[in-house]
Structures are given as C-alpha cells and as structure tokens.
Amino acid sequence: MQLEGTTAVITGAASGLGAATAALLAGRGANVVGLDLAMSIEKAGAPAAGIRYVAADVTSEDDVAAALQLTAGEPPIRLVVNCAGIAPAKRILSSKGVHDLETFQRTLNINVTGTFNVMRLAAEIMAAQEPVDESGQRGLIVNTASVAAYEGQIGQIAYAASKGAVVGMGITAARDLARSGIRVNTIAPGIVATPLLEALGPEVNASLSASVPFPARLARPDEFAQLVAMIAEHDYLNGETIRMDGALRMGPK
C-alpha cells in the first residue's frame, strides 16, 4: 500500500510515538489528521506541513466520529495508527494502600476502549471506499501495545492488562475485517525515548539502556514510525503483533 496521496489518521499525535509517526507519514506524502486532546495540541504548537490536528477524546464516539467526518472530500483514509494511551504506575497493594479502581478503569477505558472506538469507526469508513489493488485491500489499522503485555513489571497491573487486551484484539480484528479488505497489525514497543521518559534524567535512562541486549540503547520514536511505514508497505502482513524491543525481556522491576 502506498502512503503518498492517502489520508492517515493518528491518535495521540501531538507527542511521543504519535508525533513521530505523523511527521514521517507526512514526509512521505500522506495527508495526516492527528487526533489528540485539546490541551496536548495546544502544548505541541503549530503542526508541520501535511499535518492537521483535531481535538478529540478517543473514548468519545461523538468526538471520533466528528473528527473522521472532517476528512470527507480529502484523499481516502487508508491508514489509522492508534498511539493514544496512558501508563499509570501503581501496585495492587502498597504502603499507600490498595490500588484504586478508578485508575484501573480509566487505563482500560483509554488504552482499550479508545483503541477499539477509533478502530471500529475508521473501519466503517474504510470499508465503504474503493480498494487500492486487485486483492481488494482498502486500508490498514496499526494498534500500539507494549512488551508489558507479556512481561508486566511491578506497578504495571493496569497498564499490562490494557496492553494485553490490545494484543488480544489484533488477530480477531484482522479476521473480522478481512472481508472488507482491511489489515490489522499491532506494534509492542519496549523502552522508547519519549520526552516523558527522558525527563527521568540521564542516570535512569542509562540504566534502562543497559538492560536492552542489543542495541544497548532506548528505542527512538522515529523507529516506531519507520515500522508503521514498513507494515503499510508490506501487504501480506496481517493479524500480527511485532515486538520492537532490542530483544529485551522485562524483569520484575
């Protein structure tokens, strides 16, 4: 699937993995619509050429539907990348007490329900579009999980549960949408050098880098974006979860 001359919708596009993906896809000729919360968009400032920000809460049916409708009359939506998410850190039991239910529910709502909400509404639009090739391909959805889906660390109970659910949705979504010519793949990043992680300081980042077998460094957001582009261009890749982690297998903490 070619990226040039198509529309790509990216959630969580104002920072981190989403911002890097939006920049790479725009650089390759895609018309990028970046969804994020209004405060995140304001903080990000003016987008680069080829990128348009739209304020939307991924858990809101009305917000996402309205954002997708803004693409009417533009090149067809061929790619959707779900990057929006949160990663709270709390133990089930700690010196501060029991893990609160609200944080757990909120994490699943944003990371799982938000991903599903965008996926279903975008798939409805993709399915109504003309295919791009003789095989009947109409589009691709890339969801973002984490290696925490497999090796959740201490304090990651809510995050690990949510990312495990994203992995679990992948093959089922790919099978559900096969009849519509829509592929679904998932990326499970390891430790990525996002601004939030870099804010922890050089000592913490050096320690994290040393835990990665090879290359012994943190992943870069643009490497995530490169993988998205590779998946888009590899038409036979479907229903798969790809770890991007430098052979890292997370320890308990």
Return the active site residues: 159
What is the distance between the terminal CA atoms of the chain, rounded to a whole angstrom?
A: 40
Structure tokens at 140: 């691709």
Structure tokens at 12: 């969580």
Buried-state track 110-146, b at ≥16 Cβ within 10 A, e below 16 = bbbebbbbbbebbbebbeeeeebeeeebbbbbbbbbb
Query: What one-character-per-residue DSSP string does 48-108 give?
Result: PTTEEEEE--TT-HHHHHHHHHTTTTSS-EEEEEE-------B-SEETTEEPPHHHHHHHH
Q: Which of 78, 149, 77, 143 is nearest to 115 (CA)?
A: 143
From CA 20, how far away is CA 220, in angstroms rounded? Answer: 9
